[in-house]
Amino acid sequence: MSSEEYINHQLNEIYLQLEEHPENPDLIHDLGVGYYLLGNYEKAISLLKEAVHREPKNKNFLYNLGNAYAEAEHYNQATEVYYRVIAIDGNHIPSLNNLADCYEKMGSDEKAFEIFEYITRMAPDNALSYFNLGNFLLRKNRHIEAVKCYRKAIEAEPSFTDAYHNIAWILNEAKALKEAEKYAQDGLITDPKNSDLIKLLGKIRN
């Protein structure tokens, strides 16, 4: 059974349960998540809005509604919903990250940077927060700053393979081949079968 077939099977099960409990917000939410996973974001939005209407303070419902809006490229609505989550839980890092992503996609790079950087201050031991900030800086061609963030991600989580990869990639682009090879090799120590690192190491050595 493919993943799509499995999701459709689960949706059918939820519909059967909804026949008995048509007002159940959890079932409505789960149905929305199912359509989200199938890529039917407009249908997901409709269902998730209904779940949120029934439980306006449920941050999980709100977060997934924000994600559906974002995937459908309704960024203004997505940001509004993420702010509702943050109003309930100011430390909800996934909403903060996705909020920053939305601002970047809307062309508000300064606001996006402000939020990505705020997350690193709020959660200084969270490797992913540094990695996400590093990715933002990389997309803006601020390579030196990006490398610093990736290094902090590795300090927080020494097995963060993707951070090794991105540093190695930047160093290879800068023709700092010896340093690039070292980071690629260090990354492969954490994940010896990582295909991206193996491919990059081959490129560095050639």
> Does residue 10 sit in the same domain as residue 75?
yes
> Does residue 85 sit in the same domain as residue 8?
yes
> Does residue 76 sit in the same domain as residue 101?
no
List pLDDT tens digits, range 108-162.
999 999 999 999 999 999 999 999 999 999 999 999 999 999 999 999 999 999 9
Report if residue 122 sits inside a domain: yes
Q: How many domains does the chain have?
A: 3
> Does residue 30 sit in the same domain as residue 43?
yes
Report if residue 53 sits inside a domain: yes
**Per-residue tokens: 25:** 């917000």
> Does residue 123 sit in the same domain as residue 177?
no
> Does residue 191 sit in the same domain as residue 177?
yes
The CATH number linked to 62 is: 1.25.40.10
List pLDDT tens digits, range 15-25.
999 999 999 99
> Does residue 2 sit in the same domain as residue 51?
yes
Report if residue 147 sits inside a domain: no
> Does residue 70 sit in the same domain as residue 80?
yes
pTM greater than 0.85 (yes/no): yes
List pLDDT tens digits, range 52-76.
999 999 999 999 999 999 999 999 9
Domain hosting residue 43, numbered range: 1-89
Residue 1: predicted pLDDT = 67
Report if residue 148 sits inside a domain: no
| Token pair 């997934």 in the structure block, residue | 64
> Does residue 10 sit in the same domain as residue 72?
yes
**Per-residue tokens: 57:** 């303070």
> Does residue 45 sit in the same domain as residue 66?
yes
CB atoms within 10 A of CB 39: 11
Name the maximum alpha-carbon separation found in the chain.
Answer: 65
Report if residue 146 sits inside a domain: no
Report if residue 48 sits inside a domain: yes
SS (H, E, C) 137-153: HHHCCCHHHHHHHHHHH
Q: Nearest 10 degrees: CA dihedral of 104, 96, 110, 145?
A: -90
Report if residue 149 sits inside a domain: no
> Does residue 99 sit in the same domain as residue 84?
no
> Does residue 82 sit in the same domain as residue 101?
no
CA–CA separation, 11 and 40 (whole Å):
13
Report if residue 151 sits inside a domain: no
**pLDDT at 5 exceeding the cut of 70:** yes
**Which parts of 72-194 fold into alpha helices (H)?**
75-88, 93-105, 109-122, 127-139, 143-156, 161-173, 177-190
